[in-house]
Structure 1
Amino acid sequence: MTTAKQPAKAKQNAGAWVVWLVLGATVLVCVGSSILNRDSGGTTVPGPAADERADTVPLLVQAAESQGICYGWRLERSSGAEVSVGSNLGDGVPVTGDARCPRWVEVRARIMYTSSSSESNDWATVTVSGSDDLDRADLWAVDAGLDRFGLDTDTFVDDPGWAICRAAVTLPLLVAEAGVAPPAATPSADPAAPAGALPDAGSDFWRDRWGWLLATAGLLLVAALLITVGFVQRGRQRAATPAGRTRGAR
């Protein structure tokens, strides 16, 4: 009678091993995702959408033909890696170093997103540069004028893709205001009009902490499984104990 219990006991042990292997794999996945999120999650700089770039290029083409100055944009990560570049010459075509553009103005934004484990804040730098024939004071005036359109550093941090395209189409207006070129024949925006509302950039809470939330959910699931397994094994032990005592009494 004693040997008859061994297959059932071996089966229970095998089932327990399977449960522990599944739980161990779950813990490893949760911990790994949290580590990856700590190092790099939520720090990707989003570029402008395809339709935003497609709408920006024709406006820059009109301004360049009217004013005789090429206009472009450049969006970069804090490391200097390129996220998006374009000009009146086309999407993906920089305005600098091209023989077709002896005179040019470009807005450049560099964005830094920090991870949730960092004590530093997200930041952005925005500068306006131009060809050598343009006065530095005029370029500085163009740079400072971006704030009037709501294109400050906070806006670039919130939605860099939208902001860089908006800044690019604003350049012809500010260049004309600085007296560098005559007003464009077809203005791309009204300087007196307020800046359009930004689209919802999403929550930084989810962007910065998705890995930690996933790890927490996984650990809670593991705890629930452990409690369930404990109750099941406890119930089996209670059910098996009276039967064992009855056999021993006989």
Structure 2
Amino acid sequence: MAAGKHPGGGRPGQPAAKKSSAANGWVIALVTVVLVGGCIGIGVVNGDSGGTTVPAPAADERADTVPILAQAAASQGVCYGWRLESWYGSNPVSVGSNLGDGVPVVDDPACPRWVEVTADVRYTSESSESSDYALIDVTGSPDIDRADLYAVETGLARFGLVEDVFVDDPGWAVCRAAVALPLLLAETGVVAPAAAPTAQPGATAAPLPDAGSDFWRDRWGWLLATGGLLLVTALLFTVGFVQRGRQRAAAPAGRTPGKA
């Protein structure tokens, strides 16, 4: 047997090298699966949460709604409010009333009589086969009959405040529904109609200037045309008179002496 050779012609340490390469391959594959799976999971979670968030009413929408409700509450003696909720949130998305933005009317000592519209908007993820929808409910204090509240609730459709509108623009829809509550409640006879807003007296308007005579205003075109014709006539008369004078002056100078 030649020196330095092993039986079978193999190299020293070859089986250990194969085992090390196989172990490294499994580690790389496992790390790749974990990283890719984690990225996909994060993307799915973020995508679902962003697509199911119910937007709150804009600041100007809430600011415009509160004074309207405050005027109606002062006139009718009933507090009015709104509440926007989401299927995925335990806290309401937006609440407000005639008492202010963020102030509910339920269980408030300042509002023994109250009516509130609640919109529960539910958005589903893109991977779900379920459709988005909204639940609209009108509740009130115990002294207001449930039949009257139901009449107010169904009356919202007359203002175009149907389920699709609450799904498309829930913030605007819930504020618009809150503003419609005083009118719809008055139609049931529970309260008298709210007093119409009165405008503040403005400054006394200055009198208009004298318009002048209608004779000149209605006939200005005819008078302008007549004046133009008179001007042209005077110009032609002047030109003719001057030419006639020149002809008379030139006649004696052109006669031949000795002729009659």
Task: Give TM-score, length-normalised by structure 1.
Answer: 0.62
Q: Deviations over 1:138-188 (max 9, x none)?
A: 00000000000010111100000000000000000000111110111127x
Q: How does 1:79-94 map to 2 (within 5 A)?
A: 79=88, 80-94=90-104
Structure 1 counterpart of 2:258: none
What amino acid maps onto 2:141 in structure 1?
Answer: S
CA deviation string 1:55-98 (max 9, x = no partner): 00000000000000000000001255310000000000000101
Residue matched to 2:122:
112
Distance 1:147 1:81 in 2: 27
**Structure 1 position 34 matched with structure 2 position 43:** yes
**Equivalent position of 2:250 in the other structure:** none
Map residues 169-184 of structure 1 onto 2, 5 A cutoff: 169-184=179-194
Q: CA deviation at 1:110?
A: 0.3
Aligned residue in 2 for 1:135: 145
Alignment of 1:141-156 (within 5 A): 141-156=151-166
Secondary structure of the 1:82 match is coil
Q: In structure 2, what is the Cα distance between the partners aligned to 1:186 and 1:86?
A: 22
Partner of residue 66, structure 1: 75
Instruction: Note if contact 1:176-1:183 (Cα within 8 Å) is conserved in structure 2.
Output: yes
Match of 1:47 in 2: 56
**Structure 1 position 41, deviation (Å):** 2.7
- Given that residues 48 and 126 in structure 2 are in contact (C-alpha distance below 8 angstroms), is that contact kept between their aligned partners in structure 1? no
Aligned pairs, number: 165
8 Å Cα contact 1:62-1:186 kept in structure 2: no
Task: Provide the secondary structure at the position in 2 that maps to 1:179.
Answer: coil
Structure 1 counterpart of 2:64, one-letter code: D
- CA displacement at 1:40 relative to structure 2: 2.0
Note the aligned Cα RMSD (angstroms): 2.2
Deviates more, 1:80-89 or 1:59-68: 80-89
Does structure 2 conserve the Cα–Cα contact (< 8 Å) formed by 1:63 and 1:186?
no
Q: Which amino acid counterpart does residue 149 of structure 2 have in structure 1?
A: L
Q: Structure 2 CA distance, aligned partners of 1:75 and 1:41?
A: 18
Secondary structure in 1 matching 2:124: coil
- Which one has a bigger Cα radius of gyration? 2
Q: What stretches of structure 2 of length at least 5 have no aligned partner?
A: 1-32, 198-260
Structure 2 CA distance, aligned partners of 1:71 and 1:64? 7
- Tell me the equivalent position of 2:10: none
Check the 8 A contact 2:85/2:121 in 1, yes or no: yes
Alpha-carbon shift at residue 35 of structure 1 (Å): 1.8
Match in the other structure for 2:213: none
Partner SS for 1:121: coil
For residues 163 and 183 of structure 1, what CA distance do their matches in structure 2 show?
A: 23
- In the superposition, the TM-score normalised over structure 2's length comes to 0.59
Residue 72 of structure 1 contacts residue 107 of structure 1 at CA under 8 Å; is this kept in 2?
yes
- The residue number in structure 2 matching 1:208 is none
Q: CA separation in 2, counterparts of 1:181 and 1:121? A: 38
- Indicate if the aligned counterparts of 1:75 and 1:84 stay in contact, CA closer than 8 A: yes
Are residues 1:157 and 2:167 paired? Answer: yes
What CA deviation, in whole Å up to 9, does each residue of 1:227-250 have, x standing for no partner? xxxxxxxxxxxxxxxxxxxxxxxx
1 CA distance for matches of 2:39 and 2:183? Answer: 51
How far, CA to CA, are the matches of 1:88 and 1:100 in structure 2?
11
For residues 35 and 105 of structure 1, the distance between their equivalents in structure 2, rounded to whole angstroms, comes to 40
